[in-house]
Amino acid sequence: MDTDHFPDTDPAKAVSQLGENISQTAENQRALVQDMTHFAKEESLRFMNLRLERNGDALDKLQNCHGLSGLLGVQQEWLRDFVQDYMSQNMRLAGAFRGMAQNVVASAAQTASQTVDHMQQEAGEMAEQASEQMHQAAETVEDSVQETQH
């Protein structure tokens, strides 16, 4: 079959389109990983700075506390803040990663849908063209048969 007559349905073009979609998806994933890495780094720095500040506050309180009850009070406050900060950090990370994952899934679904739609359109056009060519071939054969009969 000569594809020069039908450049819009060239299989090489369809494969090229699929390759471009895969390439775009890979680029989107690279950008997502880069964003996640940057976010995690920034959040880790924020958490570490918060903990350093809390540790400094605890040391200041330890210098001014009186007796064992004062020491235990500072320790309990430090431990309570540590658990609270750790849980807040985990909630922030989980929320951010959940949002990023939802965006990735939505983007992947959209890209897949567009690719499938494009491929279905291309396949439909190719089938229509093949049907037209078969019809023309049948007419040519019929005309040839009629000419030989006369």
pTM over 0.75: no
> In 3-state terms, what secondary structure has residue 10?
coil
Q: Is pLDDT of 4 > 70?
A: no
Q: Where are the domains of the chain?
A: 20-143
Instruction: Read off the pLDDT band of 96 (50, 70, 90).
Output: confident
Q: Which string of DSSP letters, residue by residue, matches 86-129? A: HHHHHHHHHHHHHHHHHHHHHHHHHHHHHHHHHHHHHHHHHHHH
Report pLDDT for 9.
53
Instruction: Read off the pLDDT band of 5 (50, 70, 90).
Output: very low
For residues 106 and 61, the model is more confident at: 61
Please state, in angstroms and rounded to a whole number, the distance separating the CA atoms of residues 2 and 133.
11
